[in-house]
Amino acid sequence: MTELPSLLPHEVDTDLRDAVAKLLEDRSPIDAVLHRCDAPEPFGDGARALWAGLTDDLGVAGLPLAETEGGAEATWRETAVVVEALGRAVADIPFFISAVMATSLAQAAGATGLLRDLATGHEIGAVVTPFAAPFEPRAEVGLHGSRVAGRVSAVAGALESTQLLVPHPDALLLVRTTDATITPLPSLDMTRRVADVELATVEAVVLAEGREAQQAVQRAAHVSAAMLASEQLGLAEYSLESTVQYLQQRRQFGRVVGSFQALKHRLADLWTLLIQARAVARYAAACAGAEEGTAAAHDLPVAASLAQSYCGPVAVKIAEECVQLHGGIGFTWEHPAHLYLKRAKVDALALGSAAWHRRELAKQVDL
Amino acid sequence: MTELPSLLPHEVDTDLRDAVAKLLEDRSPIDAVLHRCDAPEPFGDGARALWAGLTDDLGVAGLPLAETEGGAEATWRETAVVVEALGRAVADIPFFISAVMATSLAQAAGATGLLRDLATGHEIGAVVTPFAAPFEPRAEVGLHGSRVAGRVSAVAGALESTQLLVPHPDALLLVRTTDATITPLPSLDMTRRVADVELATVEAVVLAEGREAQQAVQRAAHVSAAMLASEQLGLAEYSLESTVQYLQQRRQFGRVVGSFQALKHRLADLWTLLIQARAVARYAAACAGAEEGTAAAHDLPVAASLAQSYCGPVAVKIAEECVQLHGGIGFTWEHPAHLYLKRAKVDALALGSAAWHRRELAKQVDL
Amino acid sequence: MIDAEAELGRRVQEFLAAHPPAQTDRDRFLRARFEAGLAWVDYPVGLGGLDLDNSVQPAVDAAFAAAGAPDNKPQSNVIGLGMAAPTLLQWATREQQERWLPPLWTGEEVWCQLFSEPGAGSDLAAVGASARRDGEDWVVNGQKVWTSLAHTSRWALLLVRTDPTVPKHQGLTYFVVDMQSPGIDVRALRQLTGEAEFNEVYLDDVRVPDAQRLGAVGEGWRVTQTTLMNERVAIGGSVGSRETGPVADLISMWREARADRPELLDDVTRLWVDAEALRLASALSAQAAERGTPGPEGSGLKLAFAQLAQASSSLTLDVQGPQALRYDDWTEHRPDLTTPPDRVPGYWYLRTRANSIEGGTSEVMRNIIAERVLGLPAEPRVDKDIAWKDIPK
Amino acid sequence: MIDAEAELGRRVQEFLAAHPPAQTDRDRFLRARFEAGLAWVDYPVGLGGLDLDNSVQPAVDAAFAAAGAPDNKPQSNVIGLGMAAPTLLQWATREQQERWLPPLWTGEEVWCQLFSEPGAGSDLAAVGASARRDGEDWVVNGQKVWTSLAHTSRWALLLVRTDPTVPKHQGLTYFVVDMQSPGIDVRALRQLTGEAEFNEVYLDDVRVPDAQRLGAVGEGWRVTQTTLMNERVAIGGSVGSRETGPVADLISMWREARADRPELLDDVTRLWVDAEALRLASALSAQAAERGTPGPEGSGLKLAFAQLAQASSSLTLDVQGPQALRYDDWTEHRPDLTTPPDRVPGYWYLRTRANSIEGGTSEVMRNIIAERVLGLPAEPRVDKDIAWKDIPK
């Protein structure tokens, strides 16, 4: 057997998971999330309280960062535990956007000052890339000296952000959100809204240039794709668990609906997908968090594309089946199933579709 | 609604189907087919009796041919009825090879003399092309004046044939089987065995040349792919019906196994695929049989690739489920389920895989 | 036959001459068309028809449309026209028919269907809303759900339990209820698309005259079968041309975006194939029905339609790329059912989730195919021979 | 712990010094290894073990292998080693254990399992083969099927019905039967691959001493559970490296043929992904078991393995192209089970069909997951509380 990194939760992971879950239960019950979907602005008081709990009380925004970067000297493995818990609760906060996408990008670019700000949670970063596209430098953005101009569509987290990281083919740039024009869009996933970002020849800080900038974006793309799988895992876990619970109670034809064999077999198949998605997500997190030079670290590009090839479709399938198996009630606004469905579908589109990642993977492993 | 050709059986089709079914019941019960799989040579006495019944008694080898070609002045639509019935019985005779592949090729090349021989069933034609490859001119064959040389692998029907049609990029050639070296191969589908065909610089009759030869091959490829769908339909129909029958009788856990909902739902899904495969196969046959100049005739390339994109995988899926749902007994040699499985899988590989046909289709319909 | 058709054609032309569409008030025109028997030509004389075969209806409709005649806005009254009318035709008294059918057909009175309940979805025979006899009336209490058009309807088809002490299929009775009756509360039910296409309907001591009963007391389940049978027919619909229907958006989006997303070609082609297979199967089914030998394909086609619609709308988002995250309108509103809404692909991804639930879930379709088409045995039933009130809920 | 391991290492080295593999007769060597407690180190002293934790077994086996010691050819006696031994350990008397375990471990006596019957497959508790008490013996009649190794076995694990008048799980008794007994007829069962891997076994008035009973009369179902539990464990197996296992042939064939069949890239990549997901899930499960917290994943992994093996072997034929139609050997023969056979892809397409049947069908796996893992209720049971003889068959 090839030596694989441990895919089991460590003891500290369990504590972390429980702490985040408790916080979510207290500050972000699912009805509150649902309610906030109708708010004209994202990141309202409730969501901010949750954010504060995570960043101030638990201090988990900088888990994978070094102490010098304002971090906790843990790894992306631990961040994955947080991401999974937030996925289970379909939390409407910019943790993934700021503490994963922006942070991994700033970390790869060695932007220590920015990292310290992001780690506190007082600054919130967003990456100016269409969320439903591969995480790559954007040609829509023009670079004129240190000034950037252009319009990027359907960017996630821009509305909540205070700092915008702009990946350009020749450089990685940093712009204050207040210097950009952010146009909110009605979003398919209202728990993670998107906006158009317009930069009208704005002065930017250059975080990295040339090949260094490109490598930083590539590293951040791999880390983000790997970590997104933990969010998808959390979505899928909750969707399946809530469906099983519902079917254990719901009766039709004088029987508990969950005793009908056709449904039992479908749920068994979904669970079989879920345990595999869990292993895939854990492996991707382990690779993202592995020390440089190890086999696992070297395998990150494969693990990341594997994760997005597998976990995205599994989360969508489970969320779709969750709606279906709830019958009519799952189709109503008041039931939270749709929040998971929308998030799962958007996540499957995010950072490159499964089909796109399969192509990447085929290149990586010589298929 | 766009005007589609009729997809319903005509009265004469029903008579034809019943006549062929009766003949199969009399001369080729499934146990006889199974028994013949172990014979060292294909096309033994029982199979020859069936062939004689079809060609001499029913005279169905030349259905789509004109009277001047020795035919019955019907169309490929009627041939499809025969092909479907033979598929249901997984008959081990060269009807598809000679009366469809070779005949459609000879017809398209205007080889009237050959057609008259094929229509009687006294000569049996085979096309020298690997059965599990797109039906195209073969570059393995060299042409030196009117002499051909080369080796083509895994050709279906060569063992039963008396005449070999050899599609070459520059010409369509005819060789007597006795002039070739035919090496039989143990075949995945022993009801339609394959052989290697070696032509050691053999004198050939040139049936067509240049663009004419190419067009003939293309037309025959379309007709053959379209007609193969009817065989696949027949395989799928029988497999599903026999599975339903078995599950209506078999008991486990004190219940008829067919009352278990998970199995019922799977069978319902298979039936849903089957009714669609039926429509697709009927449409392909209608297009193959349509008068020149009609919309249906024009649509044959699309209909043929559609048929092989859809009906091949459906027949395989149903045959696989047939084995699975029979439990252990379906895995035994003595039960005929495996004959359908092997034929279905080989048919799905034949004349271009479903994936290959999807690519063809995408070109045809501008995807 | 040809003479009969020519005669019918003449009748339509005479009617149009007598009631020039451009100069005739819409309601008056429609009422007159009903009275002339040119509404549903297969209905009895005096009830909108001429006792003809329903195969001639399309020609009549086409002739009226060609003359610029107003139609009865069938999309505003789908349940009335598709389900209530055939149920009334079979089960109502002549007097009831004469009261209800004319304004139903003209669209002056819209109908809805009070069948499903929170506890009775796929298991419709489990309805718990009750009716108690009180003199010449019945007093109805309970909650219904998934009622489309309840907010615009004048009348509803109502299935209620009149005897909880007998097995569930036996204790049901079927009524027509006036939606303007006191005690009826219609509440919009918002769905995951943001819209409120359906309603919850609360019935609180609603009085329904016994004269509005269809079928005998306790015979409600049989009457319901008539209604449901016609629902399935209505869902079948017509066969469009290639690349229409559930894949239309996908294919047109693909032709715009394919240069950017070549990796999706095979997925798109697979759905093109599935769509064409379903279209051909629908055509085969329609041809069989036209020839008078309808097959049992309906449930399978509905099942396949739902799968195709869901898969296509999902893949459309992948094809669309970044713009797929943009929704159009989350505000709670009543959709306009008269024309297919012009919405973003994300809307259709969500809306098509209902295709496998509404009008019989895909699970129910599979049961029907397995039992009625394939002849497989029903599962052991635990609720068949016991009083409804004793079934665990 | 580390001392204990060092001590064990010394013991192995001492044994090897006393019994130099190159100079010792194979059977004598294996018998001596058993007597030294170095066979199954977790078994009791005197029964091939030293009462140690089974986690140290791999190191012992590795040390013997490194010294060039003969092994006990585990592939020739999978049922004996994997299922019979743990069952004997739990249910046999010490005397029975001392008779049966040594030659079982050395491979001198091969074991098989007489469980399944034509009428009792997934529903194993429905077995109808009967045993009737006659003095100190039982007289067995019936037919068993799917018995691998019956033709090479000395002993069999036998499940039979001793009381047809009680519910099916209660009337069963478990025996060990000598395959050389008069009245046993082993017939090869040819399967769709052409091979005869399995057998049918007919039992005609076979006498089995009561002393060969395991567990009490009527307790056979409980004993059977021990055997089956160990079957599941045996099927789990170890975790190989990337691109090994069910996709190995597919991927190597793909790298040869891909230039000719680019249209299959996405299909191949999908299975690469599925294979890696299953491999990682198997690793996670193995890691949990190593840590002493085994999860319930086994049934899911078996299910996924069967699907992957079937899909991969099928796609391998597509990738292979024309040569896929060439089979290798249809003659009826006994497969050599000691090494994985070197067969054409067509063989594997056929052989993998059994992956979803043998060792518990995929349908049974789904039931187990739904009920034992997800906690969904069992279906209504019609055969649970009635005498076996009254169950419709």
The catalytic position among C109, C117, C231, C297 is C231
Which C residues in the span 348-367 are in contact with A, Cβ-Cβ below 8 Å? 349-350, 353-354, 356-357, 361-363, 366
Same domain (yes/no): B316, B217: yes
Q: Chain B contact for C233, CB < 8 A?
A: no
Residue D17 lies in a domain: yes
The runs of H, that is alpha helices, within chain A are 11-27, 30-36, 45-52, 76-88, 103-108, 112-120, 210-249, 261-289, 295-298, 300-325, 337-349, 354-364
Same domain (yes/no): B266, B306: yes
What are all long-range contacts of D274-277, with beta carbons under 8 Å and residues at least 24 apart?
A: D274/A310, D274/D304, D274/D307, D274/D308, D274/D311, D275/D243, D275/D245, D275/D246, D275/D247, D275/D308, D275/D312, D276/A280, D276/A306, D276/D242, D277/A276, D277/A277, D277/A279, D277/A280, D277/A306, D277/A310
Interatomic CA distance for residues B58 and C143, integer angstroms = 66
Residue of chain D minimizing CA distance to C379: D380
Write the secondary structure of B268-328 as one string of H (helix), E (strand) and C (coil): HHHHHHHHHHHHHHHHHHHHHHCCCCCHHHHCHHHHHHHHHHHHHHHHHHHHHHHHHHCHH
Residue D239 token pair: 């975790």
Q: How do A125-127 and A163-168 pair as beta strands?
A: parallel
User: Cβ contacts (< 8 Å) between A8 and chain D: which residues?
Assistant: 284, 287-288, 291
Domain limit, last residue, from B74, B95, B122: B122
Per-residue pLDDT tens over the stretch C232-252: 554 445 688 999 999 999 999
Same domain (yes/no): B164, B70: no
Compute the nearest-CA separation of D377 from chain C (Å). Answer: 14
Distances (CA, A) of C306 to C156, C245, C302, C360: 27, 12, 6, 11
Exposure string of A130-146, with b = 16+ CB inside 10 Å and e = fewer, is bbbbbbbbbeebebeee
In three-state secondary structure terms, D79 is helix
The whole domain housing C289 covers 223-373
Per-residue pLDDT tens over the stretch B216-240: 999 999 999 999 999 999 999 999 9
What's the distance, CA D84 to chain centroid?
10
Per-residue pLDDT tens over the stretch A224-236: 999 999 999 999 9
| Residue D238 CB neighbours (<10 A) | 9
Residue B358 lies in a domain: yes
Half-sphere exposure of C34 (CA within 13 A, CB side): 21
Q: Chain A contact for C383, CB < 8 A?
A: yes
Same domain (yes/no): A111, A21: yes
Among C264, C366, C392, whose Cβ lies nearest the Cβ of A355? Answer: C264
Interatomic CA distance for residues D115 and D119, integer angstroms = 11
Q: Chain A contact for B262, CB < 8 A?
A: yes
Exposure string of C262-296, with b = 16+ CB inside 10 Å and e = fewer, is ebbbbbbbbbbbbbbbbbbbbbbbbbeeeeeeeee
Interatomic CA distance for residues B218 and B208, integer angstroms = 13
Q: Chain C contact for B52, CB < 8 A?
A: no
In three-state secondary structure terms, D124 is helix
Residue D303 token pair: 């299910």
Residue A133 lies in a domain: no
Band (C5; pLDDT cuts 50, 70, 90)? confident
Q: Chain D contact for C380, CB < 8 A?
A: yes
Residue A88 lies in a domain: yes
Chain D interface mutation, best of B267, B333, B367, highest count of D Cβ atoms under 10 Å = B333
Phi-psi region of D68 (alpha: psi -120 to 50; beta: other; left: phi over 0): left
Residue D291 lies in a domain: yes
Q: Chain B contact for A260, CB < 8 A?
A: yes
Same domain (yes/no): B289, B194: no
Whole-model pTM: value is 0.95
Distances (CA, A) of B132 to A337, B135, B319, B354: 47, 9, 19, 11
Residue C144 lies in a domain: no
Per-residue pLDDT tens over the stretch C172-207: 999 999 999 999 999 999 999 999 999 999 999 999
The C-alpha angle A300, A306, A309, rounded to 5 degrees, equals 145
Residue B333 lies in a domain: yes
Whole-angstrom Cα Rg for chain B: 20
pLDDT at residue D236 in the model: 45
pLDDT at residue B128 in the model: 98
Q: Chain D contact for B324, CB < 8 A?
A: yes
Q: Which residue has the higher pLDDT, D259 or C296?
A: D259
> Who's near B169: CB < 8 A, 6+ residues apart?
B137, B139, B214
Residue D177 lies in a domain: no
Per-residue pLDDT tens over the stretch D308-338: 999 999 999 999 999 999 999 999 999 887 7
Residue C297 lies in a domain: yes
Same domain (yes/no): A324, A241: yes
The answer to whether the Cα torsion of A332, A337, A339, A342 is positive or negative is negative
pLDDT at residue D289 in the model: 85
Same domain (yes/no): A238, A308: yes
Per-residue pLDDT tens over the stretch B246-305: 999 999 988 999 999 999 999 999 999 999 999 999 999 999 999 999 999 999 999 999
pLDDT at residue C385 in the model: 84
Domain limit, last residue, from D71, D102, D129: D71
Cβ atoms of D99 and D178 within 8 Å: the answer is no
* Mean pLDDT (whole number) for D27-44: 96
In three-state secondary structure terms, B164 is strand
Same domain (yes/no): B100, B233: no
Q: Chain A contact for C325, CB < 8 A?
A: yes
Chain B interface mutation, best of A247, A255, A260, A261, highest count of B Cβ atoms under 10 Å = A261
Please determine, for residue B201, whether its predicted confidence score (pLDDT) is greater than 90: yes
**Nearest by Cα to C361 from C372, C353, C349, C371:** C353
The catalytic position among D231, D290, D297, D371 is D231
What's the distance, CA A188 to chain centroid?
16
Interatomic CA distance for residues B24 and B42, integer angstroms = 17
Domain limit, last residue, from A149, A182, A208: A208
pLDDT at residue C281 in the model: 97
pLDDT at residue C233 in the model: 54
Of C171-185, D69-83, D377-391, which has the strongest mean pLDDT? C171-185
Cβ atoms of A210 and A171 within 8 Å: the answer is yes
Which CATH number does the domain housing residue B49 bear? Answer: 1.10.540.10
Which CATH number does the domain housing residue B195 bear? Answer: 2.40.110.10
Active site residue C231: yes
Per-residue pLDDT tens over the stretch C112-167: 999 999 999 889 999 999 999 999 999 999 999 999 999 999 999 999 999 999 99
Q: How do C111-114 and C155-161 pair as beta strands?
A: parallel
Band (D380; pLDDT cuts 50, 70, 90)? confident
The C-alpha angle D43, D49, D50, rounded to 5 degrees, equals 100
| Residue B38 CB neighbours (<10 A) | 12
User: Cβ contacts (< 8 Å) between D288 and chain A: which residues?
Assistant: 8
Interatomic CA distance for residues B77 and C318, integer angstroms = 40
User: Cβ contacts (< 8 Å) between C363 and chain A: which residues?
Assistant: 262-263
Residue of chain B minimizing CA distance to A265: B262
Please determine, for residue D232, whether its predicted confidence score (pLDDT) is greater than 90: no
Residue C253 lies in a domain: yes
Distances (CA, A) of C59 to B343, C53, C107, C237, D45: 48, 12, 21, 17, 94
- Interchain CB distance below 8 Å, B261 and C379: yes
Which CATH number does the domain housing residue D269 bear? Answer: 1.20.140.10
Compute the nearest-CA separation of B258 from chain C (Å). Answer: 6
Among C241, C300, C376, whose Cβ lies nearest the Cβ of B244? Answer: C376
Same domain (yes/no): B158, B223: no
Domain limit, last residue, from D44, D71, D98: D71
Please determine, for residue D222, whether its predicted confidence score (pLDDT) is greater than 90: yes
Compute the nearest-CA separation of A101 from chain B (Å). Answer: 35
Neighbours of chain C (3+ CB pairs under 8 A): A, B, D
Compute the nearest-CA separation of B89 from chain D (Å). Answer: 18
pLDDT at residue D216 in the model: 97
Distances (CA, A) of B111 to B68, B117, B173, C357, D78: 11, 10, 11, 57, 63
Interatomic CA distance for residues D1 and D248, integer angstroms = 39
Per-residue pLDDT tens over the stretch C67-112: 999 999 998 999 999 999 999 999 999 999 999 999 999 999 999 9
Residue A316 lies in a domain: yes
Number of domains in chain B: 3
Whole-angstrom Cα Rg for chain A: 20
The residue whose two tokens read 């019989």 is C360
Residue C346 lies in a domain: yes
> Who's near D241: CB < 8 A, 6+ residues apart?
A1, A2
Q: Is the ipTM of this complex over 0.90?
A: yes
Number of domains in chain D: 2
Q: Which residue has the higher pLDDT, D342 or C273?
A: C273
Whole-angstrom Cα Rg for chain C: 23
Same domain (yes/no): B295, B182: no
Mean per-residue pLDDT over chain C, rounded = 93
Q: Which residue has the higher pLDDT, B240 or B2?
A: B240
Cβ atoms of C41 and C8 within 8 Å: the answer is yes
Half-sphere exposure of C96 (CA within 13 A, CB side): 20
Residue D143 token pair: 């037919």
The whole domain housing B34 covers 11-122
Same domain (yes/no): B359, B217: yes
Same domain (yes/no): B197, B217: no
How many residues are there in chain D? 393
Per-residue pLDDT tens over the stretch C17-71: 999 999 999 999 999 999 999 999 999 999 999 999 888 898 999 999 999 999 9
User: Cβ contacts (< 8 Å) between C263 and chain D: which residues?
Assistant: 266
Residue C258 lies in a domain: yes
Q: Chain D contact for A14, CB < 8 A?
A: no
Taking 50 as the pLDDT cut, the residues of chain A under it are: 1
Compute the nearest-CA separation of A4 from chain C (Å). Answer: 31
Q: Chain D contact for C3, CB < 8 A?
A: no
Compute the nearest-CA separation of B98 from chain A (Å). Answer: 39
